[in-house]
Each structure stands twice: as C-alpha cells, then as structure tokens.
C-alpha cells in the first residue's frame, strides 16, 4: 500500500458496530430536539405559532442530518441520496438542498481502518498481489470507496472496498432514517411505508453483496461486449469477495462534465443513455436501477459511456415493462383517456386520486401528452412545464387520502427513468425520444 494519502483529504472512521451506529442516531435525534426547542422559543418570542415541520427543518437541523448521514455512510447515507435525487422537486427547499450535498460528501476510511478491512478479506499478505496499491481513494460513495491498483503484469484495477458494518446495519439504518422522515413531517403518517421499506432493505442487502454485483456486471459486459457506444469493466473473480470488488480500471471523465461540451456531444451522450434504458427494459429484461450520475463516465476520445456500479441491477418484471409500453403508446397516440387508464393499470395513479381529482389529473395528463408530441427533439433544458406539473401535483397531494405508493417493481424502474431525465435536464440535452421509443411500441403491437 502506498502511503501517499493527501493529509488534506477528510478521514473519518466509519462506525461499524450496531451500538456505535445507534449512538450516532441518538446524538442526531438529541441535536435535532435541541435545535427545535431553540427555534421554537425564538419564534414564540416573536409572536409566531410555528408548525412542527418548520421547527424540524431549520438550516441547523438539516445540516446535522446531512453531516450525520455522511458520517454513518451505508444505508443511512444511501437513503439520503435517493431522497435527494428522486424527490428533490417535492421536498422542502431546505431539506432538498442539504440532502443533495450527500452526493458529494467525501469522508473516507482512515488508512488503518482500510488495512483492517483488506486484511480480513484478503489475508495479511495481500500487498504481495500488487505492484502498486494507492491508499488514496479515487471515489468515495455511500457503501464503499474505490482505490486504484496495478497487478504485477500491468493490469490496472479499480478496487471497491465496503465500509465496515454496512451490511450488518442496513435494516436498523433504514428504520431509523424512516423515523427521522416521519418526525420531519415530510411523509404523512397515513402512508403505509412497510412494503417499500422491506423492499429497500432487500435491495440494499443485494447492493452490499459484491459477489452478486460482480455477476451482474458480467451479465451487462456480455450483453454490451463490442458495442460502439458503451464499455463495461470486467470483474476479477480471484480478488473479489462479498465485501471487496476488483474490476478493470477504465478511464473517463464525470458525465456531468459534458455540461460544458458542444450541444451535439451532449445530445449524443443522452441519446445513448436513453437508448440503453429502453434496451434494458424491453430487450435485456434487466436494469441497473440506480441513476446516480457517478455511475456513468464519458470517454471524450471514443465517445463511449463507461457504465459503473451494478449493485442495484435487477430483473425487470415483464408486467412492468408491458405497463410502460402501454403508457408510452397511449401518450404518443394523444389519447388522454388511454393514458389515464394505462397509468392506473401500471400503478402510477391510485383510484382515489382519479375519483376525487379527475379534472386535475386530466389537466396534468394533457400537459404531458402535449410535451410528448411536440415535433422534433425534446428539449430537456426547457423545464417550464415541470413547475406547472409540480404545482398541480402538490395541490392534489394536499389531500392525503389520495396518497398512493406505486408497485415496488415499478418504483425501481421509474428511479432509472426519472434519474436519466434529470441528467438530460442537467446537460440541457435535446433528444428525439419518440424515435427511440417507437420500435419497441411497434414490436409490442405485433
């Protein structure tokens, strides 16, 4: 191991025992409560009658939440990242802004903690397997951090090392974060989250199994082998364990860096990503469902997208794919009634929402159908209609009796669809989505 770690980088030991993690949540709850009391006293002194949510979501409390989740890493931080990406437009601005920081937090394991993990997984003489192992992580995420290494034969590897205690703490972390969200008032108490939390725990356990991820990575590498637009690293089985994943190192720049690229290059990259999403859903029958931007890199010299992180890869239920096919077909036909029926059948719309807010639902459908059927490429940088949909959606959401959770299988696929659209908006890309979709609709109709 090369001890060339930059002392300016942030090292912070990851709490690995259940007791330590529970204590961290306890300190967070205590800090939030203290902040609430102080803020409540200040507002009462000004003659105000503050709401509970206003007391919880003070900048100080939200900062405590982000800092503590970034320290805990694992499922706690993963859920914070998911919330910030998936529901950012719906969350209170203070919470959305701070949770978004979790996608760039960079606390790393101290070198000694890293050595203990690798000694446990590879044995104490593991250094002999490499001509070079860089102690400085090239990436740090919610479940693990990535190091660059070189084998004696010259093969360059990326080594993903899981933070200690992550797998053992998943269930309790998910429950604790759900409790924090309930207390914050972001989620209504009437909403039954049990099925979603159960599925979240299951997927996080799968993501924490690096041997499973290696298998999924190999599947996608085989499917895309030799493809002109994508490249997938191959795992190295002899160095891969349940907590360490060794794979080819493939160079590339962050996909967000394309924001400064020419319009044609941004459009081409997003067209390729959207084509991949459709291919995953309708051809492979399997999808990498985590849309985090860090899971994509771009190679300027080849124009190819580097696909990373297959921990969230899962098979797509044929019924889910058919639901999307029906919804897309209805949307492109411009048939409002067909869209509403397809959205209900797929589970996006609940019966209560349609029964109680039919005019509002139909107005929202009209907006979406109009945008889908505009001639030429869709301009993802033009987000004016999104704000209109948000306002109408929040109007309907005020009626808590209509709150509805879509089927879990649909939710995970929609994460990828929504995340891809969010990246397209970030890059202000223009893509003829209809032309990408049509072949799959014709295939389904046949």
* Residues assigned a catalytic role: 290
Kind of pairing, strands 230-231 and 304-307? parallel
- CA torsion through residues 18, 23, 29, 32, sign: negative
Kind of pairing, strands 296-299 and 304-307? antiparallel
CB atoms within 10 A of CB 124: 9
Chain Cα centroid distance, residue 177: 16
Strand partners, 150: 132, 156
**CA atoms within a 13 Å half-sphere pointing along the CA-CB vector of 252:** 25
Yes or no: say if 340 and 333 are a contact pair by the CB < 8 Å rule: no
Yes or no: say if 303 and 260 are a contact pair by the CB < 8 Å rule: no
Residues 199, 201, 206, 209, Cα dihedral to 10°: -170
Strand partners, 145: 140, 161
Report the C-alpha gap between 132 and 149 in whole angstroms.
5
């Amino acid at each position: 191991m090369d001890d060339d770690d930059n002392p300016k980088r942030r090292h912070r030991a990851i709490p690995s025992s259940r007791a330590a993690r529970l204590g961290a949540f306890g300190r967070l709850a205590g800090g939030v409560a203290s902040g609430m009391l102080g803020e409540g006293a200040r507002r009462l002194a000004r003659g105000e009658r503050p709401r509970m949510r206003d007391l919880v979501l003070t900048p100080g409390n939200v900062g405590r939440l982000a800092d503590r989740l970034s320290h805990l890493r694992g499922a706690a931080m993963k859920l914070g990242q998911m919330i910030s990406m998936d529901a950012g437009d719906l969350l209170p601005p203070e919470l959305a802004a701070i949770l978004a920081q979790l996608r760039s937090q960079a606390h790393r394991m101290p070198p000694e903690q890293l050595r203990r993990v690798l000694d446990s997984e590879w044995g104490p003489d593991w250094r002999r397997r490499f001509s070079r192992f860089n102690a400085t992580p090239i990436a740090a995420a919610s479940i693990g951090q990535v190091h660059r290494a070189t084998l004696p034969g010259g093969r360059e590897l990326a080594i993903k090392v899981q933070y200690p205690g992550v797998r053992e703490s998943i269930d309790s972390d998910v429950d604790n974060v759900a409790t924090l969200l309930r207390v914050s008032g972001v989620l209504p108490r009437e909403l039954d989250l049990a099925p979603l939390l159960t599925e979240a725990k299951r997927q996080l356990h799968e993501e924490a199994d690096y041997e499973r991820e290696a298998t999924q990575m190999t599947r996608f590498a085989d499917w895309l082998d030799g493809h002109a637009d994508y490249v997938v690293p191959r795992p190295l089985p002899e160095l891969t364990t349940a907590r360490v994943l060794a794979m080819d190192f493939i160079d590339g720049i962050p996909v967000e860096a394309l924001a400064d690229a020419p319009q044609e290059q941004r459009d081409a990259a997003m067209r390729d990503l959207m084509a991949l999403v459709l291919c995953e859903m309708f051809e492979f029958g399997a999808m990498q469902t985590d849309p985090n931007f860090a899971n994509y890199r771009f190679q300027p010299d080849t124009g190819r997208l580097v696909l990373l992180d297959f921990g969230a890869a899962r098979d797509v239920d044929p019924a889910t794919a058919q639901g999307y096919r029906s919804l897309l077909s209805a949307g492109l036909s411009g048939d409002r009634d067909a869209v509403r029926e397809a959205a209900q059948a797929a589970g996006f719309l609940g019966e209560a929402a349609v029964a109680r807010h039919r005019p509002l639902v139909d107005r929202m459908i009209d907006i979406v159908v109009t945008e889908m059927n505009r001639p030429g490429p869709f301009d993802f940088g033009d987000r004016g209609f999104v704000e209109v949909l948000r306002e109408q959606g929040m109007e309907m959401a005020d009626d808590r009796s209509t709150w509805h959770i879509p089927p879990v299988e649909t939710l995970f696929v929609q994460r990828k669809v929504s995340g891809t659209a969010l990246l397209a908006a970030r890059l202000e890309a223009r893509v003829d989505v209809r032309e990408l979709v049509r072949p799959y609709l014709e295939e389904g109709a046949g």
